[in-house]
Chain A
Amino acid sequence: MEAARIPPSVRPHFQDRLLRAGVARVKSVSRGGTLWTGTEIFWPRAGVADVGILELPPPARGEVLVKTDVTAVSPGTERALLNLMPGTNARFPMRPGYSGTGTVLRIGSGVAELRVGDRVACTETLHHASLALVRASRVFRLPVAVRSEDAAFLQLIIIALHGLRRARVNQGDRVAIVGAGLVGQIVLQLSRAIEAGAVTMIASTAAKQDLASGADHFIDLSRDGAAVDRVNADVVIEVAGTPEALPVAVRAAAPQGRIALLGSTRGINRRVNFDDFLRHKELSLIGAHISGLEDTPSAEMSSYRDVATEVLALLALRRLDMGSLVSDLVNPLAAPPFYRRLCRGDRAVVGALFDWRQVAERERCRRTLAVGVPGDMLRKGRSYDQNEGSPSIISKPPTWLLDTVDSQPHAPGALRFAIVGCGGMAVRHAAAIRAAANARLVAAMDLDERLARDVAGDGFATTRLEELLARDDVDAVLIVTPNHLHESIGVQAARAGKHVIVEKPIAHNLASADRLIAACRDAGVALSVGYSFRYSPEIRAARRLVERGLIGRLLSVQLTCYFDKPPSYFGSGYTNRTHSDWRASCETAGGGVLVMNMSHQLDQIRYIVGQDLTRVSAVTGVVDSPQGVDVEDVVAAACEFEGGAVGSLFGSCVARGIANQIEIRILGEHGAIVLDPPFRFMTLRGVAGLASGRWYGFGELPKMDVHSAFIVRFADAVLSGRTPEVSGDDGRAIQAWMTAVYESARQGRSVAVDNPLEQACTQALAACSPGRSGQV
């Protein structure tokens, strides 16, 4: 066996960890010898988040050791720091987080007011970690009526209330808030709680208007910038965090008005004329950084503890509703993909919480002895197995890695399905619906009545779609027709109030997919796409490995697919059940081997790595298909992922003698996953039950009906009002990947992948570019 060593000097963040481990041990020895071990989120360098092991000594004098429940993310601030935006001075490696809730575990000497077991909210040194050592003056016992999730935002609410106080807001004052992010929403609620007068919220887009329902007026600068001049607010609170927000705040202020600078504007305001800016209207510009809130009250200002107590009282009285602001409750182990989303500028993230209760107790909070060496670090330095051919078989895989899909429905009742299109795949879907405990097959439709009868069984069979959609006993329609018909049938079904599943791909092109998604959204019905193969146990295990950071940063992905289609495929598919040549034409199928076969693997890859493609460079060919076939039978594409990883996609359906062989390889900074049978993986990370650097496999995995699992999960989501796990947007994303492949092949150059989030981000950046700041 060949082996390799990673030199300590290039081992990522090794020195930092070593130093911290050493300091924790030294401190621990003088405080009784125990060491507390937990899990923390850290940023090794700009743009990258990771999960690691945290070691803390017992609390010193005046300190409290807290076991955290939830920690609050401040999206604007953390995005700015992690992206190293201008004006930030983040030092990496960095440990983010500054507010959360938990339970007191140990108390240092000199702390009288707290008891072990108290539910508390903490600020300042409570990072995104399962354990924290916090100064007692920043630990506040929670009143019984206050929920942990609400109080986790304590620091942000204190900041907001401090801003309102600095601006000397009085009852009845007209308030304008520039910026509609998390702090802006909190300021809005606080303005209500302290009975300010009319409140106007001013934002660069209408995206957060729904959240701001408590405001009397909402101004969308992109639509009605002139409205700012009519606001005439006694007090303006700036929480936008860009230099462009200041001129807006000035325009919104009434003469003699006060403007509180609460957001971190991070940047230079160019060509400021102080006469226009402040003097003519006699405005006051008031800096409201939280450092201004002293520990001891002065004549003009209250102390930090006073404000914190006031905030907790407001929470106890339910005068603030933090629940409506939480868009994401994140498992801390999934922090890397979460931060990737945040970094890319996903504006859907308003308030987010890391939920440390989801972390296994062993990794969340454990007592060890200071004399022990940090085992994970020793393992990291050990040699690793470079030969992936003969993995060790794990006889009892840990449950977090190889859980079976939850195929037991939770919501009561059963969803009643109708199948439209009764060819070969319909037979499989009918069997899957019949096997699912929370689904019934009540009807089927096909232009060929014989086929419809065959699939419907005892149920209703028809040749007319209207007849099927008019039935009250049909809740959901499963569309198994040629790809170009997905949209028209799906739209009709949605308008009839039926939930929709389309067989993969979502449509035969991207525009058609968008129309189908819009129709389902407008009709308020669920939409899902038949990417059922993501439910196979090895795919889920691979996702778990990536999610837990066990392969580290994604470096590359390789997909190779071999199919050997018989010539009859283009006339009657694999099963010969129906006869139609739709598979032979781009007009009807939308493509060849990529769309018809590889799209399943594309969804699996996207599901595992949690990233979209950004650029593709591809070549397609029709090299050995029968006369009249105009869809590709071979495709090769080089592609780039969001996180910078490079991938290759190859597929052929004229691979003579190599039928249905699929290989997926996912390579990361700290490990690798190989998905062609037998499934195997290797990680350099220290994790319970697995040796670092050794290749593992599962041996024979239990057989699993992925189609049935898909139906069960879809029905359960619909019955309990959730979005299906495989959403219309997932289907669209894969369609966008494939569209980029075809476009690249057609144009003979690399093309960008259409990504709604990317577009929104580009637009947002363009909107705040200096060139347009004059309008803002």
Chain B
Amino acid sequence: MTETFALTARAMDKARLRRGERVLIIGDGPVTQALATATADREGLPSVVENAPETLVGVAIIFVATGEPSTIAAVLERAPRFARIILVTSVAEATTDVDFYRTVHLKCLELVGVSLPASA
């Protein structure tokens, strides 16, 4: 559990959350729950936890807590402009093809990796 909270803390730190920003958390593991709690804890900070959202419109921050890289690629495709996407959990050896130009560059996204020092 220490690891989960440490990871959550780092992810929250990297996300630079601001009051009123819509948050989306993708995943179903312990980290997802911890993130949900962490974002909800903040006073006045509405949070959304959805696993299969129909639309990402208006979402400012997306925590991706799943080890499936194709989900990350799909999030990049659908994320609204200026969204910050925090990659929290490991994808291990899995790979995927990504068009960074059409997604990250054109939509001015920010894609942030988070890990614990031990795994670095």
* A contact residues vs B (CB 8 Å cutoff): 87, 166, 243, 246, 255, 261, 264-275, 277-289, 291-292, 299
Residue numbers in B under 8 Å from A285 (CB-CB): 100, 104, 110-112
**Given A261-B105, A292-B82, A279–B110 Cβ distance below 8 Å?**
no
Cross-chain contact B72 with A274 (CB below 8 angstroms): yes
Q: Is the CB of A274 within 8 A of B69?
A: yes
Which chain A residues lie closer than 8 Å to B96 at the CB level? 271-272
Assembly CA distance A286 to B110 (angstroms): 4
Residues of B within 8 A of A281 (CB): 113, 120
Whether the pair B114, A287 counts as a contact (CB closer than 8 A) is no
Residue B92 interfacial (CB < 8 Å) = yes
Interface residues of B in 97-112 (CB under 8 A from A): 97-112
A246-B91 Cα distance, complex, nearest whole Å: 19
Query: How would residues 75 to 87 of chain B score, 1 for a CB under 8 Å from any chain A CB and 0 otherwise?
Result: 0000001100001
CB of B104 within 8 A of CB of A261, answer: yes
- Give residues of chain B (19-61) contacting chain A, Cβ–Cβ below 8 Å: none
Q: Which residues of A contact B104 (CB under 8 A)?
A: 261, 285-287
Q: Find the A residue at minimum CB distance from B113.
A: A278
| Top 10 A-B pairs, shortest CB-CB distance | A278-B113, A292-B108, A279-B113, A287-B104, A271-B95, A285-B111, A265-B101, A261-B105, A287-B108, A287-B105
The 17 sampled A-B contact pairs (Cβ below 8 Å) are: A166-B108, A246-B100, A265-B100, A265-B101, A269-B98, A269-B100, A278-B111, A280-B120, A282-B10, A282-B112, A282-B113, A284-B110, A287-B100, A287-B107, A287-B108, A288-B108, A291-B108
Shortest beta-carbon distance from A187 to chain B in Å? 15
Q: Report whether A270 and B97 are in contact in the complex, using a CB–CB cutoff of 8 Å.
A: yes
Interchain CA distance A278-B111 in the complex, whole Å: 8
For the A-B complex with A285-B110, A288-B105 known, give 9 more contacts whose Cβ atoms are closer than 8 Å: A265-B101, A271-B97, A275-B91, A275-B113, A278-B113, A282-B10, A287-B106, A287-B109, A287-B110
Contact A280 B113 (CB under 8 A): yes
Partner among B82, B90, B98, B107 whose Cβ is within 8 Å of the Cβ of A279: B90
Chain B residues in 8 Å Cβ range of A246: 100
CA distance A735 to B94 in the complex (A): 56
Residues from chain B with Cβ under 8 Å of A273 in the complex: 69, 91, 93-95
Q: B83 — nearest CB in chain A belongs to which residue?
A: A287
Given contacts A277-B113, A288-B105, contact A243 B95 (CB under 8 A): no
Tell me if B119 is interfacial: C-beta within 8 Å of chain A.
yes
The SS class assigned to the A binding surface is mixed
Q: How far is the CB of B108 from the nearest CB of chain A, in Å?
A: 4
Q: Does B4 contact A (CB under 8 A)?
A: no
B: number of interface residues (CB 8 Å): 36
Q: A757 vs B56: C-alpha distance in the bound complex, in angstroms?
A: 49
Q: What residue of chain B has the Cβ atom nearest to residue A282's Cβ?
A: B113
B69 proximity list for chain A (CB < 8 A): 272-274
Which residue from chain A places its CB closest to the CB of B99 in the assembled complex? A268
**A283/B113 in contact, CB under 8 A:** yes
Identify the interface centre among A272, A273, A277, A287: most chain B CB within 10 Å of its CB: A287
Q: Which of A274, A283, A285, A286 has the most CB of B within 10 A?
A: A274
A424 to chain B, nearest CB (A): 64
A272 and B95 in contact, given A261-B100, A288-B105 (Cβ under 8 angstroms) = yes
Minimal beta-carbon separation of A498 from chain B (angstroms) = 54
Contact A264–B101 (Cβ < 8 Å) = yes
Within the assembled complex, what's the spacing in Å between the Cα atoms of A669 and B73? 48
Report whether A279 and B87 are in contact in the complex, using a CB–CB cutoff of 8 Å.
yes
User: In the docked arrangement, what's the CA distance between A271 and B90, Å?
Assistant: 16
Residue ID in chain A nearest B114 by CB atoms = A282
Interface centre among A265, A272, A277, A280 (most CB of B within 10 A): A272
> Which residues on A sit within 8 Å (CB–CB) of B98?
268-269, 272
Q: Quick check: A274 and B87 within 8 Å, CB to CB?
A: yes
Q: Which B residues are CB-close (under 8 A) to A282?
A: 10, 14, 112-115, 120
Contacts of B94 in A (CB 8 A): 273
A279–B115 CB distance below 8 A = yes
Query: B112 — which chain A residues lie within 8 A by C-beta?
Result: 278, 282-285
* Residue of A with least CB distance to B112: A284
Asked whether A280 lies within 8 Å of B115 as measured between CB atoms, the reply is: yes
Known contacts A255-B120, A261-B100; A274 and B107 CB within 8 A of each other: no
User: When the two chains form their complex, are residues B106 and A291 in contact, meaning their CB atoms are under 8 A apart?
Assistant: yes
Give the CA-CA distance A166 to B10 in the complex, in Å: 21
* Docked complex Cα distance between A265 and B94 (Å): 23
Contact B113 A274 (CB under 8 A): yes
CA distance A270 to B98 in the complex (A): 7
> How far, in angstroms, from A291 to B107 measured CA to CA in the complex?
8
B105 cross-chain contacts in A, Cβ below 8 A: 261, 264-265, 287-289
CA distance in complex: A273, B111 (Å): 14
Measured CB to CB, the closest approach of chain B to A58, in angstroms, equals: 35
When distances are taken between beta carbons in the complex, the residues of chain A under 8 Å from B10 are 282
In the complex, the chain A residue whose C-beta lies closest to that of B73 is A272
Nearest CB on B from A459, distance (A): 67
In Å, the complex CA distance between A243 and B99 comes to 9
Which one of B93, B99, B106, B113 lies within 8 Å of A289 (CB-CB)?
A: B106
> Closest CB of chain B to A479's CB: distance in Å?
54
Find chain A residues with CB under 8 A from B18 CB.
299
Contacts of A274 in B (CB 8 A): 69, 72, 87, 91, 113
Which chain B positions have C-beta within 8 A of A268? 97-99
A265 CB contacts on chain B under 8 angstroms = 100-101, 105
The complex places the Cα of A278 from the Cα of B101 at a distance, in Å, of 16
Cα(A265)–Cα(B119), bound, Å = 30
The CA-CA distance from A279 to B72 in the complex, in Å, is 13
A264 to B104, CA, bound (A): 10
Is there an interface contact between A284 and B90, defined as CB atoms closer than 8 Å?
no
With a cutoff of 8 Å between Cβ atoms, the chain B residues found around residue A286 in the complex are 104, 108-111
Is B108 in contact with A280, judged by CB distance below 8 angstroms? no
B94's closest neighbor in chain A, by CB?
A: A273
- Which of chain A's residues have a CB closer than 8 A to the CB of B93? 273
B115, chain A: closest CB distance, angstroms? 5
A273 to B93, CA, bound (A): 7
Kindly report which residue of chain A lies nearest to residue B92, judged by CB atoms: A275
Residues of A close to B97: CB separation below 8 A: 268-272
Which A residues lie within 8 Å of B111 (CB)? 278, 284-286
Per the bound structure, the CA–CA distance linking A532 and B10 in Å amounts to 74
A278 vs B91: C-alpha distance when bound (angstroms): 11
Give the chain B neighbours of A287 by CB distance below 8 A.
100, 103-110
Assembled-state Cα–Cα distance A287/B111 (Å): 8
Contact A243 B120 (CB under 8 A): no
How near does chain A come to B102, taking the closest CB pair, in angstroms? Answer: 8
Closest to A285 in B: B111
Distance between Cα atoms of A277 and B100 in the complex (Å) = 12
Given contacts A273-B91, A289-B105, A289-B106, contact A279 B100 (CB under 8 A): no
Give the distance to chain A from B6, nearest Cβ to Cβ, in Å.
13
Task: Report the Cα distance A299→B81, complex, angstroms.
Answer: 16
Looking at the assembled complex, report how far the CB atom of A66 sits from the nearest CB atom of chain B, in whole angstroms. Answer: 28
